[in-house]
Structure 1
């Protein structure tokens, strides 16, 4: 044991002595020119090292540098700069005065991907003849095993756009001899009062770079907080397979799996780059909760306050429409999105299906459908930036429950029933102000099991008749609503005015006909109805028959949340009784036309 310890001590002393001799005999500054030259030969970039280079022995044999900067030819700002750099080197090559770097460590680095840091040709550089092939790009040859960047900053900017700062970058990149690269990255982005923190683990196959790169992002974690984000933030995980090919330039995504709070997406996609990019995206989901992602809050007070601003001038941004048109004209795309459950403004939509294509400004929404409760909807349409109106939809709605819709869009909750619609609508913008102020269209409407809470038309008519005529009475007890088994009509929308015509409804107790108009901006209505009360009468049978066949005028008007009504019962009833009496007298006069009394009565009736 003593002999073993003695041998170990001797080896340790020899190793320390050798390291000391190596540090004393080999000057790291001798490698300065070599490193600068190697970087320029392999990448074309220019490396600048400030201050003297010095050894650092423990725990890893390293060369320490002061400030460093890496610049592209002709650029006015370095692409990478750092106050400190550490190069971990291999020991044995140093014995033959060769430098082999195992790891590069940059701390507090600033990485600039801006117009100032790009390669710029010299002013006196020769210009290649037109049609000459571009020189073959060799790419960056990374011959170090490991690159580490700690507590650093990335500055992104394209042309004159706003800069994006990616802070707190911690990157570990390891490479083996087959150019298989492992990446461990974490960072955060702060912009527009939003903070995005993320981390990822990925493996990349660089063996065919730059012609092809394959990547496997094993794990992606992120969290978004700040302005416009729900209080708890948005967080999730993801993974995907990605590949890039140079000719033709194309990015392909597969095995995509992404979560955001309680929402989940899977699918694939691709982007063929060029003058007109071509995008394909195929996504599926078990659940997408847009309310949780957008922080939606439903408020009837908010909805009513919007309607009270009826005197305001329409504010519809043509700049937003132009930006939309410019974007749509710049690419070709195909989108497929299928979700078992989609939640929007409190509505739970099942079997949601969206199929859309874009051909440089012609967006065709072939399918936009889903099930809502026991009903279903289909909203196919088009957005053509070269047409007017630019946006057209052909809605088909079948048996959708009205109550959840009124709650979702902050409308008065006085209506319930099953709603169906078939029509065509169009406008030039998808914003809510544009829809309520500019859109036009027409549709056929149908409502079954309609119930109007807080207003019993049956009761109103019978009580008004009973007050004017004591020979008939209504029911002893009434419900606090009007119920109509089926109501049909036609609707026409024109710049915020919704006109409803050919109304025709019936139930066990009454039938309704008429028309009306709704002002979507002022949130008011004015309806003129003809109401026949069929059941619930007691008293004079002849008068009851007259009432059952008489359409009594009823006007319902005013704000949606404070409706008023007007009944013209007495005048109509008096006229109807007069007509009925005149009819019977005419019948008697016709039967007794040979008698003098009959002739006199006939002459008198003709003068009336």
Structure 2
């Protein structure tokens, strides 16, 4: 045992002595020009190292540098700059005075991907006689370092037109083997407009054919987005995919895509090209898509307007000059979307087996399929979308079959006082994809049929019966209303114009009454004004003549005023007055027929005409 320990001690002394001698005999500054030359030959980029290079022995033989920068040819700003850099080198090549770097470590670096850091030809460069596109050194870039680590750094990204995006707390570790199979680990934090995105990435990357082709297996991508104008709990989830990129065709593909966001999840694939006019093709499937959770909506249990946005606060208002309104970004993208959702929740309504197919070019898309099931009913909403305007324009031809109307009215923030199963066929168009836009700037027309309808707080039969009983003791209604007698069948036609719904025709009937009417509902000012003619056909008891009159005569009923406090105008007196006039006219006629020779017969005839 003593010999073994002694042998280890001797080996350790020899190694330490050898490394010490090597450090003393080899000056790291001798490699400065070599490193600058190798970087420029391999990539065309200019490496600048300020200050003296120095050795760092423990726990890894390394070269330390001061301020460093890496600049593309013709660029105004460096692509990478750091206050210090560490190069972990291999020991054996140093014995022959050669430098072999196995890891580069940058701490506190600033990475710029901006127009100012992009490679460009000098202004006085002669034109290419072959008229070929200039070959910038950046296109010859290869990554030959086995290990790269970037910690506590900042990435500044900016397109030619747009704001800067700062990626803070950037931590990157990239390792690769001789076959250029790399493993990438990345974490970062992005803050902008009072919102923050945390991201962690773990992926395997194939660099063997880079830059012509690049493929990556993203094993794990965790993200969390929180801040202003987002749900209070934020948006968080994971993603996995197989990504491929071909620079020759500027084509990409995402296979085995798996994405989760809060309690929603989606799988599928994506492909396309990224040229002057990108083309994107999506084929997606979701077992559960909860739009209420993604939009931060909470549904209360009351029957009133109960959709509430549960958000962290409004987005900041920035006092800058307002640019001219531009078309939607989707106007510059072509492609198609195929989406199937097993279960979808939107504004408190649960949909099943949702199918959507969308395709188009030049900003105009055809919505050939949008259908699904809800409860015992189903719907179809084919149409078209136009993204060439600041507000997306739509045309829809809805066909609804037996859709429960109460949750539908709550979803559109209308008083949920009406129940029943709605069937509808219509044609609508407008600008904007949200409910407020539908209620304010859309227009169209439709025919509706509402079965098993019940208007909460408005029993037309009881209203008329009580009004008649209060005006006349000759008739009365039943003491107790039969169960289900208030269920109605309602049909009608209406037009929608910038929030004003005009009912040109509205008819209803039940086992006890029937009615017809017309009027309007203003969804913007939340006002209603509808005039009905209601006839109670069953349940009367008392004077036979008056009962027959009530069964055949519509009673005028006006419903008007704000939704929060509707007013009712019921004109029962006119019906009773007409009944009295008819009865008086009948009796005067009987007297006149019996007394044809009477001198007062003329006066009676005149009185009959006046009635």
**Normalized against structure 2, the TM-score is what?**
0.90
Partner Cα distance (2:580, 2:563) in 1: 35
Question: 1:314 aligns to what?
Answer: none
Question: 1:507 aligns to what?
Answer: 510
Question: 1:520 aligns to what?
Answer: 523
Question: 2:73 aligns to what?
Answer: 73
Q: CA deviation digits over 1:261-292, x for unaligned, max 9?
A: 11111010012122221111111111111111
Partner Cα distance (2:236, 2:328) in 1: 32
Question: 1:46 aligns to what?
Answer: 46
Give the direction of change, closer, same or farther, for the CA distance of 1:179–1:505 in structure 2 (3 Å limit).
Answer: same
User: Deviation at 1:467?
Assistant: 2.2
Give the direction of change, closer, same or farther, for the CA distance of 1:320–1:493 in structure 2 (3 Å limit).
Answer: farther
Partner Cα distance (1:421, 1:49) in 2: 74
Unpaired stretches in structure 1, ≥5 consecutive residues: 307-318
Partner Cα distance (2:579, 2:104) in 1: 101
Shifted more, 205-214 versus 566-575: the winner is: 566-575
Question: 1:62 aligns to what?
Answer: 62
User: Deviation at 1:159?
Assistant: 1.9
Give the direction of change, closer, same or farther, for the CA distance of 1:31–1:413 in structure 2 (3 Å limit).
Answer: same
Indicate conservation of the 8 Å contact 2:304/2:410, yes or no: no
Indicate conservation of the 8 Å contact 1:456/1:481, yes or no: no
Instruction: Report 1:273-422 matches (<5 A).
Output: 273-298=274-299, 325-384=327-386, 390-422=393-425
Partner Cα distance (1:280, 1:327) in 2: 16
Indicate conservation of the 8 Å contact 2:477/2:540, yes or no: yes
User: Deviation at 1:12?
Assistant: 2.3
SS in 1 for 2:466: helix
1:566 aligns with 2:569: yes
Q: CA deviation digits over 1:112-150, x for unaligned, max 9?
A: 111111113212111224742543875322222100111
1:241 aligns with 2:242: yes
Q: CA deviation digits over 1:42-74, x for unaligned, max 9?
A: 011000111111111111111111111111122
User: Deviation at 1:478?
Assistant: 5.0
Q: CA deviation digits over 1:459-495, x for unaligned, max 9?
A: 1111221222211112223599982421000011122
Question: 2:123 aligns to what?
Answer: 123
Shifted more, 388-397 versus 532-541: the winner is: 388-397
User: Deviation at 1:367?
Assistant: 1.6
Indicate conservation of the 8 Å contact 1:537/1:544, yes or no: yes
SS in 2 for 1:297: strand
Aligned mate of 2:458, from 438, 455, 460? 455
User: Deviation at 1:523?
Assistant: 0.7
Question: 1:490 aligns to what?
Answer: 493
Question: 2:217 aligns to what?
Answer: 216
User: Deviation at 1:587?
Assistant: 9.9
Q: CA deviation digits over 1:364-400, x for unaligned, max 9?
A: 1112222222222222111236799942111111111
Question: 1:179 aligns to what?
Answer: 180
Indicate conservation of the 8 Å contact 1:164/1:191, yes or no: yes
SS in 2 for 1:425: strand
Partner Cα distance (1:117, 1:495) in 2: 50
SS in 2 for 1:64: strand
User: Deviation at 1:302?
Assistant: 10
Indicate conservation of the 8 Å contact 2:331/2:388, yes or no: no
Indicate conservation of the 8 Å contact 2:392/2:433, yes or no: no
Partner Cα distance (1:59, 1:96) in 2: 22
Give the direction of change, closer, same or farther, for the CA distance of 1:301–1:553 in structure 2 (3 Å limit).
Answer: closer
Indicate conservation of the 8 Å contact 1:56/1:64, yes or no: yes
Indicate conservation of the 8 Å contact 1:86/1:104, yes or no: yes
Indicate conservation of the 8 Å contact 2:128/2:134, yes or no: no
Counting matched residue pairs gives 596
Shifted more, 4-13 versus 85-94: the winner is: 4-13
Partner Cα distance (2:483, 2:498) in 1: 34
Unpaired stretches in structure 2, ≥5 consecutive residues: 309-320
User: Deviation at 1:599?
Assistant: 11
Give the direction of change, closer, same or farther, for the CA distance of 1:219–1:524 in structure 2 (3 Å limit).
Answer: same
Indicate conservation of the 8 Å contact 1:48/1:68, yes or no: yes
User: Deviation at 1:2?
Assistant: 3.7
User: Deviation at 1:85?
Assistant: 0.5
Partner Cα distance (1:543, 1:351) in 2: 55
Indicate conservation of the 8 Å contact 1:277/1:331, yes or no: yes
Partner Cα distance (1:584, 1:248) in 2: 98
Indicate conservation of the 8 Å contact 1:391/1:428, yes or no: yes
Partner Cα distance (1:584, 1:93) in 2: 130
User: Deviation at 1:7?
Assistant: 3.1
Shifted more, 17-26 versus 403-412: the winner is: 403-412
Partner Cα distance (2:30, 2:146) in 1: 22
Partner Cα distance (1:361, 1:264) in 2: 28
Indicate conservation of the 8 Å contact 1:453/1:482, yes or no: no
Q: CA deviation digits over 1:506-536, x for unaligned, max 9?
A: 1111111111110111111111111111122
Give the direction of change, closer, same or farther, for the CA distance of 1:506–1:594 in structure 2 (3 Å limit).
Answer: farther
Give the direction of change, closer, same or farther, for the CA distance of 1:305–1:585 in structure 2 (3 Å limit).
Answer: farther
User: Deviation at 1:326?
Assistant: 4.7
**Normalized against structure 1, the TM-score is what?**
0.91
SS in 2 for 1:12: helix
Partner Cα distance (1:255, 1:321) in 2: 40
1:97 aligns with 2:97: yes
Question: 1:313 aligns to what?
Answer: none
Q: CA deviation digits over 1:246-271, x for unaligned, max 9?
A: 22110100000111111111010012
Question: 1:469 aligns to what?
Answer: 472
User: Deviation at 1:230?
Assistant: 2.0
Indicate conservation of the 8 Å contact 2:112/2:156, yes or no: yes
Partner Cα distance (1:268, 1:21) in 2: 58
Partner Cα distance (2:469, 2:610) in 1: 32
Question: 1:310 aligns to what?
Answer: none
Give the direction of change, closer, same or farther, for the CA distance of 1:431–1:284 in structure 2 (3 Å limit).
Answer: closer
Give the direction of change, closer, same or farther, for the CA distance of 1:180–1:466 in structure 2 (3 Å limit).
Answer: same
1:150 aligns with 2:164: no
Partner Cα distance (1:244, 1:389) in 2: 31
Shifted more, 24-33 versus 421-430: the winner is: 421-430
Structure 1 ranges of 4+ moved more than 6 A? 299-302, 319-322, 386-389, 479-482, 583-604
Partner Cα distance (2:467, 2:437) in 1: 43
